[in-house]
């Protein structure tokens, strides 16, 4: 997929889930009801609405709703709705591939008659890129609303003068470009660190990141959203504003789950996070998943520290969860369009809007707000006061085309474990994952490679992806598994490589480590890499970091290598024998993360790790 979309075979298998609701035969009665006949309506919807839609859809189907004049002779049939969870970005891409390129929908995703991504700019993208007026956006109804906000820990917002002072993108830029960092505010805390940390996900996949990017361009241009032009997007001053904002990004997040996990770990790791407003009550109530360490186990738990929603003073957009009825496509009949309209109107009934509010959404009709849309959950129901208009679809495409020019550059070394335990299927999966990692890496990034067993085997110096990709691929293709695991030697080499690269100081630097085992050889010890303490803050001296040493009671505070730049270690633990506690410590020390992977999903997991840069 081009620039940041998941590879087609990957996202179709990974993010499209089938939820068949209320199916079966209905016994229909009445002079103008056709016995046993139904009008099927397939709805594609973003995942957040699937917390309450199944119950509504089941009830709708059981009530046997019909639409008038479904058939020329005046007869009618019951409408039967089936809902599928499809990521908003994937929804857009699948429709474009079908309409523009003639590709079939995946078997697990029947053709939709109703599409409801998080926000309607995905629908306008379909119209623009496919060249077909599939959605009539002027007459498309919102199904539920939530604004995009900047989520902050309350104590940080208060230190910056909130709520008496309005905050926005310009305040993040000012803080990020001030050499004092958080020290500019007298009430800042040592535990935050000096450097402000802005979180950002992939705007080719994430609705929130895409919307926040649009809002930042509008702020940079200083003109109404609907008046923004492609020339504004290319304006050097506008692009410099975006680069300064992205300069506050510590590293990128490939998906929302990873960002949530960092928020649950506290203000040491994330300071500003563009999120949909409903996420604040979800996190406060423990309604979202967060990956716990060690091991990447997914669990739901309440957020301990209070967060608040900052409604950017420059303006924001509604995520309006549109009910887009498909038109001008061969798989949708007039009867199905009428049936979809009946279901949209059903979703707008007050009792069904109440269901949406139970999950933190704002209603799409005039109703009193629910109990979650209150200051208790960090939400100001009087906001947002400044809403941005709709960006022209062609300008939206220009913004996305400019993303690689304004995002923070990346410098990365892939460190591959080629010890004997990697032989066979593991190695083949590792090679495939490494190829996909490189294939989906942003083209402006600089990439190098280290392979290791009981010593460093191959070392490809860092260069641009265009310069290095064939050499990297050649080394990966001829890799063989043998010997022990000089894990820490490889990490030290990789970290020194990214630190020495002559890229701009603000570049995101890191090592992506793939390993299936524990340190069994090499000269470097774990304590040569990390400052270790016990949980009661007693220093730990020399520490080899072998599998025979218990690491569960240890805390890693920072890297102790004499590096000039901050650097991350992102690790993929392959199989059951990897030392997860060591990977936890590396992630702790470098504000990073790690994932477990099996031979079934290693290639997918490793590919996603390219999105951190």
What span, in angstroms and rounded, lies between the C-alpha atoms of 396 and 120?
Answer: 12
What average pLDDT score do residues 301-327 get?
Answer: 94
Residue 309 has pLDDT above 50, yes or no: yes
Lowest pLDDT segment from 59-68, 245-254, 259-268, 475-484: 259-268
Asked whether residue 12 carries a pLDDT value surpassing 60, the answer given is: no
Using 50, 70 and 90 to split pLDDT, how confident is the model at 299? low
- Is the distance from CB of 4 to CB of 610 less than 8 angstroms? no
For 485-536, write each residue's pLDDT tens digit. 999 999 999 999 999 999 877 899 999 999 987 899 999 999 999 999 999 8
Q: Does the structure show a pLDDT above 90 at 26?
A: no
Which two three-digit tokens encode residue 395? 């300008």
- Given a contact cutoff of 8 angstroms between Cβ atoms, the answer to whether 537 and 603 are in contact is no
Give residue 23's pLDDT: 32
Cβ–Cβ under 8 Å, residues 152 and 380: no
Most confident of 346-350, 468-472, 555-559: 346-350
- In this prediction, residue 70 has a pLDDT band, given cuts at 50, 70 and 90, of low
pLDDT computed for residue 14 by the predictor: 40
Give the Cα separation of 269 and 198 in Å (integer): 9
Strands (E), 210-359: 273-276, 289-292, 297-300, 307-310, 318-319, 322-325
- Structure-model confidence comparison of residues 36 and 388, the more confident one: 388
- pLDDT band, very low/low/confident/very high, at 433 (cuts 50, 70, 90): confident
pLDDT of the residue at 260: 79
Q: Check residue 25 and give its pLDDT.
A: 29
CA–CA dist 492, 524 (Å, integer): 8
Q: Which of 113-117, 242-246, 262-266, 296-300 has the lowest mean pLDDT?
A: 296-300
Q: Which residue has the higher pLDDT, 17 or 50?
A: 50
Does pTM surpass 0.85? Answer: yes
The values of phi and psi at residue 337, to 5°, are -65, -40
Could you tell me which residues are beta bridge partners of residue 582? none
pLDDT over threshold 60, residue 467: yes
Specify the pairing of strand 568-574 against strand 508-515.
parallel
Q: Write down the pLDDT at residue 612.
A: 83
Report pLDDT for 425: 86
Rounded CA separation 551/447 (Å)? 31
Strand ranges in 234-305 using DSSP code E only, listed in sequence order: 273-276, 289-292, 297-300
- Note the pLDDT of residue 97: 97
Residue 276 in this model has a pLDDT that exceeds 90: yes
Cis omega before residue 88 (within 30°)? no
66 close to 361: Cβ distance less than 8 angstroms: no
pLDDT of residue 207: 95
pLDDT tens digits along 318-359? 999 999 999 999 999 999 999 999 999 999 999 999 999 999
Domains of the chain: 2-145+320-369 (3.40.190.10), 147-317+392-404 (3.40.190.10), 409-612 (3.40.50.410)
pLDDT > 60? residue 21: no
Closest CA to 252 of 432, 440, 92: 440
Q: Roughly what angle, to the nearest 10 degrees, separates helices 207-221 and 169-177?
A: 80
Lowest mean pLDDT segment, chosen from 80-94, 414-428, 591-605: 591-605
Both tokens of 473, joined, read 């691929």
Q: How does the average pLDDT of the chain come out, rounded?
A: 88
Please give the average per-residue pLDDT across 287-310, as a whole number. Answer: 69
Mean pLDDT of 142-156: 97
User: What pLDDT is stored for residue 517 in this prediction?
Assistant: 79
pLDDT surpasses 50 at 9: no
Residue 17 has pLDDT above 70, yes or no: no
Query: 161-214 pLDDT, tens per residue?
Result: 999 999 999 999 999 999 999 999 999 999 899 999 999 999 998 999 999 999
Which whole number is the average pLDDT over 224-228?
A: 96
pLDDT at position 13 is: 39
pLDDT band for position 290 (cuts 50, 70, 90): low
- Which has the higher per-residue pLDDT, 212 or 36? 212
């Amino acid at each position: 997929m081009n620039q940041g979309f998941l590879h087609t075979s990957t996202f179709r298998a990974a993010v499209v889930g089938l939820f068949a609701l209320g199916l079966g035969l209905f016994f229909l009665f009445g002079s103008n009801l056709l016995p046993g006949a139904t009008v099927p309506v397939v709805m594609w919807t973003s995942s957040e609405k699937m917390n309450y839609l199944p119950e509504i859809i089941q009830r709708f189907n059981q009530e046997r709703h019909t639409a008038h004049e479904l058939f020329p002779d005046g007869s009618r049939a019951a409408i039967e709705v089936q809902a599928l969870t499809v990521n908003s970005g994937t929804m857009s891409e699948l429709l474009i591939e079908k309409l523009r390129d003639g590709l079939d929908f995946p078997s697990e995703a029947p053709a939709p008659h109703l599409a409801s991504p998080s926000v309607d700019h995905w629908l306008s993208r379909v119209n623009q890129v496919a060249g077909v007026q599939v959605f009539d956006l002027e007459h498309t109804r919102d199904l539920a609303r939530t604004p995009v906000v900047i989520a902050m820990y309350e104590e940080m917002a208060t230190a910056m003068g909130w709520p008496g002072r309005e905050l926005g993108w310009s305040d993040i830029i000012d803080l990020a470009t001030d050499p004092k960092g958080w020290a500019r505010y007298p009430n800042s805390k040592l535990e935050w660190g000096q450097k402000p940390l802005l979180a950002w996900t992939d705007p080719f996949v994430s609705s929130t990141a895409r919307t926040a990017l649009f809002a930042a361009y509008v702020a940079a241009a200083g003109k109404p959203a609907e008046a923004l032009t492609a020339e504004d997007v290319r304006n050097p001053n506008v692009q410099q504003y975006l680069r300064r904002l992205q300069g506050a990004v510590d590293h990128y997040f490939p998906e929302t789950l990873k960002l949530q996990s960092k928020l649950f770990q506290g203000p040491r790791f994330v300071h500003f996070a563009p999120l949909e407003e409903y996420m604040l009550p979800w996190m406060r109530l423990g309604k979202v998943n967060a990956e716990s360490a060690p091991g990447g186990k997914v669990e739901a738990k309440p957020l301990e520290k209070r967060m608040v929603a900052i409604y950017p003073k420059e303006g924001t957009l509604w995520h309006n969860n549109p009910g887009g009825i498909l038109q001008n496509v061969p798989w949708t009949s007039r009867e199905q369009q009428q049936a979809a309209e009946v279901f949209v109107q059903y979703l707008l009934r007050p009792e069904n809007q109440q269901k949406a509010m139970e999950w933190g959404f704002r209603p799409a009709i005039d109703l009193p707000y629910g109990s979650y849309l209150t200051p208790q959950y960090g939400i100001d129901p009087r906001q947002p006061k400044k809403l941005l208009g709709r960006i022209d679809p062609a300008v939206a495409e220009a913004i996305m085309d400019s993303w690689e020019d304004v995002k923070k550059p990346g410098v990365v070394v892939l460190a591959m474990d080629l010890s004997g335990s990697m032989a066979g299927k593991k190695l083949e999966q590792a090679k495939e994952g490494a190829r996909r990692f490189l294939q989906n890496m942003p083209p402006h990034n600089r990439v190098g490679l280290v392979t290791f067993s009981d010593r460093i085997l191959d070392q490809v110096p860092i260069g641009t992806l265009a310069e290095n990709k064939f050499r990297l691929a050649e080394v990966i293709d001829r890799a063989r598994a043998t010997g022990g695991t000089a894990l820490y030697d490889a990490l030290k080499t990789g970290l020194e490589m990214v630190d020495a690269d002559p890229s701009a100081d603000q570049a995101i630097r890191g090592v992506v480590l793939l390993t299936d085992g524990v340190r069994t050889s090499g000269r470097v010890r774990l304590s040569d890499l990390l400052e270790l303490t016990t949980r009661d803050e007693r220093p730990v001296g020399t520490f080899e970091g072998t599998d025979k040493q218990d690491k569960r009671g240890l805390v890693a505070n920072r890297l102790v290598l004499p590096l000039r730049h901050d650097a991350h270690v992102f690790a993929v633990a392959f199989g059951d024998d990897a030392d997860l506690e060591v990977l936890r410590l590396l992630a702790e020390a470098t504000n990073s993360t790690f994932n477990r992977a099996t031979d079934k999903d290693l290639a997918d997991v490793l590919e996603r790790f390219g999105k951190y840069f």
